[in-house]
Structure 1
Amino acid sequence: MAEVRIVRWGVDDLALLRALNVPEVRAHTGGPETDEQVRARHERYLRGPGPRSGNMFTVVTPDGTTVGSVGFWPREWHGEPVYEMGWAVLPAHQGRGLATAAVRAVVAAARAAGDRRFAHAYPSVDNPPSNAVCRKAGFTLLGETEFEYPPGRLMRSNDWRIDLTAG
């Protein structure tokens, strides 16, 4: 099993966010953002944790290589307060179980927060790797849903849920 640690998002992580802003990583989330959007996202991440900034982390391998990002943030889903989770791994490091290990770590962080029963992830139905991460990390598939991301754009997603009070 892959090993990673998650580290709170920091000032020096703008370069990582720019490196993740490529078609191979952003294909299922509306495509690459402008540099202005990336800088604004970085500033939100730095302000976290919070309602608009979430709890964002870098994903670091045991040898100290930063390979991606992972996080959770509060939202309301079907009238219930939940966490939404998201992640991204640099193309050179995909396919090795690092995203699954990172999602397991961020589930533990959300569980420790203790203020929501469920966390959800909404990968595109056309994104087999992210759907596999959800399955391997212990989420339950609730079915397909229309999900707005990026803002103003509806996408067909799977609704995956994990119970943060279990385990």
Structure 2
Amino acid sequence: MTNHTDTDAADAPGGLMLAPWCGERGLEVLRRQNTAELTEHLGGVESAEQVRRRHERYLAMTDGSAGRMFLLLLDGEVAGSVGYWRHAWEGRDVYETGYAVLPEFQGRGLAVRALLLCARRAADEGVLEWLHAFPSVRHEASNAVCRRAGFELVGEVAFEYPPGHHIRSNNWRLALAG
């Protein structure tokens, strides 16, 4: 396993880094991401209490083998979030990933670069062989991120996110080992 400092600038051109999820900065990015535009394909805007609980779950993710959440920093400014976590899929454990770039930072390829940095962290710190993403089949931008990051499209699946909200998703995966 690789030791990582507070930020991970390895192969992060243009001042892009992953920083550990933290207190006020983490909560603020979740609040800023909690818009109709950014949650359209994720079940919609969450209540303030749901955002606070999500933030607490992210703060608790400190074991790289179980998953981690990161702030996406561009030249020190919070531009979004990315992370990975254990997910039971088709009878086996895999890592699932999620990412969101704030609107003012979109269109620069940051999501692809952040996803690749996150995959590297999952490979370095984790114990599972696959990283999956499950964007809605209608979320063209998120599917393009997976394609450009080198994920393999496994196929279309029924997916539940958030709990109680069923969507048609694409199942993308990336091998983390070898």
The TM-score, its normalising length taken from structure 1, stands at 0.93
Contact 1:2 1:98 in 2 (8 A): no
1:80-113 CA-to-partner distances (Å, cap 9, x unmatched) read 1100000111111111101111000000000002
**Where do residues 46-85 of structure 1 align in structure 2 (5 Å cutoff)?**
46-49=59-62, 54-61=67-74, 63-85=75-97
Contact 1:50 1:73 in 2 (8 A): no
- What does residue 155 of structure 1 align with? 167
Where 2:97 maps in the other structure, the secondary structure is strand
Q: Quick one: distance in 2 between partners of 1:137 and 1:39? A: 30
- What does residue 23 of structure 1 align with? 36
Q: Quick one: distance in 1 between partners of 2:128 and 2:67? A: 14
Q: How many residues align?
A: 164
Superposed displacement of residue 114, structure 1: 3.8
Superposed displacement of residue 34, structure 1: 0.3
Superposed displacement of residue 3, structure 1: 5.2
Q: Structure 1 residue 39 and structure 2 residue 52: aligned? A: yes
Given residue 39 of structure 2, which amino acid in structure 1 is its aligned partner?
R
List alignment gaps of at least 5 residues for structure 1: none
Contact 2:100 2:111 in 1 (8 A): yes
Superposed displacement of residue 50, structure 1: 5.3
Given residue 27 of structure 1, which amino acid in structure 2 is its aligned partner?
E
The TM-score, its normalising length taken from structure 2, stands at 0.88
Q: Pairwise CA RMSD of aligned residues?
A: 1.6
- What does residue 142 of structure 1 align with? 154
